[in-house]
């Protein structure tokens, strides 16, 4: 049985920073993520957006931040298992270790666990109309991976949240034409961004929904309709961005025996959950001062890992010392 000191579930910014800290503390570390690449929401949801509120980075593209975090996390060479979904945690009383089961293996054993699951293995909500799925990731997108694709195109954006509205504003600068449809007249996006759409000449159609996508080989037209009157319109469109939210299912966490606070795992000030040796940090955790940010997730990961060190070795100190006293060859 190959027992790790800590297994971190989730390779988002919180898990990546946690795995760096675990390496710094000399822990034998493994990171497991269901996605095929590291970075969590940064890579999967908004790689082409700038982030301005990460310490030491006045402005950085989310994908570059994810890359830097992955590089930093690799410094101490943790084992990384991508494309593997964790399905169960089992306490092995006789060995005093946790067994982590995934959809690919039951061969993960560890003394401590850091749950950095973010919003869970979240999947974008799909369109509920019939369309040719060969268009997916071709001219119909659920996240923007390459914003240049939308240059000089007639773009349709569906949704009323920050992501939909921000992309409408950004694409308006270099796309041929941007239409945003939203099924209500109230937006979840911040008001200033909604107002900006008017200045940016985004064609905003509230109470409109998508009825049909037409095209041979690629999207050519869409049929949209006013959900109050049923009146239909056909407009020429080359690219569609669907930003209508995510399906989040965290019910499985309850079956792991974790104390939950609505959709998040309750932790104390050491980021301990109610299960011995199991810590949680980042978007998945709940405590009275919780803010769902990259910066706070990083701090929580450092706290969790340093206290996990004292769980694994009760004579160790939680305070790691200053990294500036080290002489790392990087």
**Residues at the site binding ligand FAD, with contacts judged by CB under 6 A:** 9-15, 32-35, 40-42, 45-46, 51, 53, 85-86, 116-121, 163, 282-283, 292-295, 297
The least CB distance from residue 131 to ligand FAD, in Å, is 24
The least CB distance from residue 55 to ligand FAD, in Å, is 10
Taken in order 276, 279, 280, 286, the sign of the CA dihedral is positive
Nearer to ligand FAD, 202 or 222 (CB): 202
How many Å separate Cα 177 from the centre of its chain? Answer: 29
The least CB distance from residue 20 to ligand FAD, in Å, is 13
Nearer to ligand FAD, 14 or 154 (CB): 14
**CA 132, CA 168: separation in Å to the nearest integer?**
24
Nearer to ligand FAD, 224 or 305 (CB): 305
Picking from 85, 82, 45, 81, the residue whose alpha carbon sits closest to that of residue 63 is 45
**CA 182, CA 226: separation in Å to the nearest integer?**
10
**CA 62, CA 37: separation in Å to the nearest integer?**
14
**CA 12, CA 41: separation in Å to the nearest integer?**
7
The least CB distance from residue 54 to ligand FAD, in Å, is 7
Nearer to ligand FAD, 154 or 163 (CB): 163
The closest residue (CB) to ligand FAD is 118
Report the alpha-carbon angle 293-298-301, nearest 5. 120
Nearer to ligand FAD, 166 or 238 (CB): 166
The least CB distance from residue 33 to ligand FAD, in Å, is 4
> Which helix (H) or strand (E) segment is 42 a member of?
helix 41-44
């Amino acid at each position: 049985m190959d027992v790790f000191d800590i297994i971190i579930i989730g390779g988002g910014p919180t898990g990546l920073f946690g795995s760096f800290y675990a390496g710094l503390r000399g822990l034998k570390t493994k990171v497991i993520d269901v996605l095929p690449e590291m970075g969590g929401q940064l890579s999967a949801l908004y790689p082409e957006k700038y982030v301005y509120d990460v310490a030491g980075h006045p402005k950085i593209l989310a994908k570059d931040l994810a890359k830097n975090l992955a590089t930093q996390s690799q410094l101490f060479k943790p084992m990384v298992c991508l494309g593997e979904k964790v399905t169960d945690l089992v306490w092995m009383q006789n060995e005093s270790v946790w067994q982590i089961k995934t959809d690919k293996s039951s061969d993960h054993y560890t003394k401590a666990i850091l749950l950095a699951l973010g919003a869970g293995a979240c999947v974008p909500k799909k369109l509920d109309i019939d369309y040719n799925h060969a268009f997916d990731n071709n001219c119909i997108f659920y996240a923007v991976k390459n914003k240049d694709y939308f240059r000089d195109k007639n773009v349709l954006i569906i949704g009323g949240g920050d992501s939909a509205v921000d992309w409408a504003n950004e694409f308006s600068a270099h796309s041929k034409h941007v239409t945003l449809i939203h099924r209500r007249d109230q937006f979840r996006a911040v008001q200033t961004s909604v107002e900006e759409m008017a200045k940016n000449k985004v064609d905003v159609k509230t109470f409109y929904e998508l009825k049909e996508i037409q095209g041979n080989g690629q999207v050519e037209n869409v049929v949209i309709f006013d959900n109050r009157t049923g009146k239909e319109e056909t407009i020429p469109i080359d690219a569609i961005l669907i930003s209508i939210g995510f399906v989040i299912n965290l019910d499985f966490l309850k079956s792991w025996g974790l104390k939950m606070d609505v959709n998040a795992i309750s932790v104390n000030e050491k980021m301990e959950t109610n299960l011995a040796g199991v810590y949680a940090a980042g978007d998945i955790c709940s405590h009275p001062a919780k803010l769902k940010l990259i910066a706070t997730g990083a701090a929580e990961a450092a706290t969790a890992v340093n206290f996990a060190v004292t769980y694994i070795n009760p004579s160790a100190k939680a305070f790691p010392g200053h990294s500036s006293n080290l002489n790392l060859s990087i």
